[in-house]
Copies of this chain bind each other. A is one copy, B any other.
Amino acid sequence: MLVGGMMVFSLPWAWPVLGHRTGEYNPDASFETGGFFALCASIVVSFLIGYCLYKYVGGTHHEKLFRKEAMAVVALSWVLATVLGAMPFYFSGTCRALSVRLLDGSHEVHIYDEKVEGALDQGEYKILQAIAEKGARGIPLADLVTSVGASAPGILEDLAKSSPDWEEVLIFPNEEEDAPADRVANFRIRPIRMSIVDCLFESQSGFSTTGATVIADLEDPYTVPMCILFWRSSTHFLGGLGIIVLFVAILGHGSAGKTLMRAEIPGPSKEGTQTRMQHTAWIFTAIYCVMNLVEAIILKIFGMSWFDGICHAFGTLATGGFSTWNASVKHFNSAPIDYTIIIFMVLAGMNFSLHYLVLIGRPGKMLADIEWRTYMWIIAIVTLLVVCFGMFHSNYEHLALVFRHGLFQVVSIMTTTGFATDDFDVWNSFGRAVLFLLMFIGGCAGSTGGGLKVIRHILFVKILRLEVEQSFHPTVVRPLRLGGEAVEGENLRKIILVYFALIAIIFSLSWLAVVTIEPDETWGTSLEHKLIDSASAVSATLNNIGPGLGIIGATQNYTNFSSLSKLLFMWLMMLGRLELFVVLVIFMPKFWKSR
Contact = CB atoms under 8 A, between A and B. Distances in A.
A498 B532 contact: no
Of A460, A498, A534, A549, chain B has the most CB atoms within 10 Å of the CB of A498
Contacts of A530: 429
Interface stretch (A313-321, A511-519, A557-565): A511-519
A438 to B, nearest CB: 10
Interface string A572-595: 000000000100110010110010
Contact of A498 (B262, B429, B467, B473): B467
Interface stretch (A138-146, A189-197, A499-507): A499-507
A242 B594 CA distance: 50
Interface string A521-547: 001001111111110000000000000
A4 interface: no
B464 A498 contact: yes
Given A437-B508, A468-B588, 14 more contacts: A67-B474, A433-B512, A433-B531, A460-B501, A464-B502, A469-B588, A471-B584, A472-B581, A472-B585, A490-B490, A490-B494, A497-B497, A531-B532, A532-B532
Of A472, A530, A590, chain B has the most CB atoms within 10 Å of the CB of A472
Given A501-B501, A504-B500, A432 B531 contact: yes
Given A527-B428, A528-B526, A528-B532, A67 B501 contact: no
B434 A512 contact: yes
Contacts of A512: 430, 433-434, 437
A68 interface: yes
Interface of A: 67-68, 71, 259, 262, 389, 428-430, 432-434, 436-437, 440, 460-461, 463-464, 467-469, 471-474, 490, 493-495, 497-498, 500-502, 504-505, 508, 511-512, 515-516, 518, 520, 523, 526-534, 549-550, 581, 584-585, 588, 590-591, 594
What is the total number of copies of this protein in its complex? 2
A246 B471 CA distance: 20
Nearest to A255: B474
Nearest to A514: B433
Nearest to A474: B67
Contacts of A533: 528
Contact of A497 (B433, B494, B549): B494
A550 B528 contact: yes
B529 A472 contact: no
Given A494-B497, A501-B464, A472 B68 contact: yes
A592 B526 CA distance: 49
Contacts of A469: 585, 588, 590-591
B531 A473 contact: no
A227 to B, nearest CB: 39
A413 to B, nearest CB: 14
A71 B474 CA distance: 13
B67 A527 contact: no
Nearest to A467: B498
Contacts of A534: 429
A427 to B, nearest CB: 9
Given A433-B511, A490-B490, A497-B501, A472 B67 contact: yes
Contacts of A474: 67
14 contacts: A428-B520, A429-B534, A437-B508, A440-B508, A460-B501, A460-B505, A463-B498, A464-B505, A497-B497, A497-B501, A526-B526, A526-B528, A528-B528, A531-B532
